[in-house]
Copies of this chain bind each other. A is one copy, B any other.
């Protein structure tokens, strides 16, 4: 069966953004420190990756069939202008459908149930949309809800050699912790990043 995965660029002290939404220049440095040009569905969003990171990225793209994201990420990115850079359908978990949505031709779906029921519906819908490909859930809050609902199969960490000293942790408020993982089942050493993948092992 297709897997439910999460992933993020994370500092050595566990943050996916620094204090006051800083640190992205450091966390995302590996998207721009190689000479392989990788395009997304957004012409203005092009990465320059090392060979190792490009392989990592292409695998991610090839295996991902749909996304589940939280309302915060949707708002920050303004719904990616109606077209996610990964070119896959997106399920948004939200208390209410944002104004002007859904839009024709934009593969965005909205799940407005709260709690465990909401996250289960969102993942089920994303699975349907993904076919035999994986569902990727982002960011931390959604990943945490999936973990606590025992829906998450894999955790990817792009571990970046920086100490941010504060900010938003990748994992927080884990009600069912501790969670033991298996692996890394894959490890790839890029430049200014170590790509790690772990499998979740529910007790």
> Contact between A171 and B165 (Cβ–Cβ < 8 Å)?
yes
Contacts of A161 in B (CB 8 A): 180-184, 198
Contacts of A189 in B (CB 8 A): 184, 187
The answer to the question of A149 belonging to the interface, with a C-beta cut-off of 8 Å to chain B, is no
Given contacts A164-B178, A180-B162, contact A157 B198 (CB under 8 A): no
> Contact between A163 and B157 (Cβ–Cβ < 8 Å)?
no
A51 to chain B, nearest CB (A): 18
Number of copies: 2
Contact code string A159-170 (vs B, CB < 8 Å = 1, else 0)? 101111110011
A155 to B163, CA, bound (A): 11
Contacts of A169 in B (CB 8 A): 13-14
The answer to the question of A124 belonging to the interface, with a C-beta cut-off of 8 Å to chain B, is no
Contact code string A82-113 (vs B, CB < 8 Å = 1, else 0)? 00000000000000000000000000000000
Given contacts A13-B14, A171-B12, contact A178 B198 (CB under 8 A): no
> Contact between A165 and B178 (Cβ–Cβ < 8 Å)?
yes
The answer to the question of A23 belonging to the interface, with a C-beta cut-off of 8 Å to chain B, is yes
A170 to B165, CA, bound (A): 11
A186 to chain B, nearest CB (A): 11
Q: Which residue of B lies closest to A13 (CB)?
A: B171
Contact code string A57-93 (vs B, CB < 8 Å = 1, else 0)? 0000000000000000000000000000000000000
> Contact between B187 and A163 (Cβ–Cβ < 8 Å)?
no
> Contact between B179 and A163 (Cβ–Cβ < 8 Å)?
yes
> Contact between A26 and B162 (Cβ–Cβ < 8 Å)?
no
Which residues of A from 186 to 203 have beta carbons under 8 Å from B? Answer: 187, 189, 194, 196, 198
Contacts of A13 in B (CB 8 A): 14, 169-171, 174
Q: Which residues of A contact B (CB under 8 A)?
A: 11-14, 18-19, 22-23, 26, 147, 155, 157, 159, 161-166, 169-171, 173-184, 187, 189, 194, 196, 198
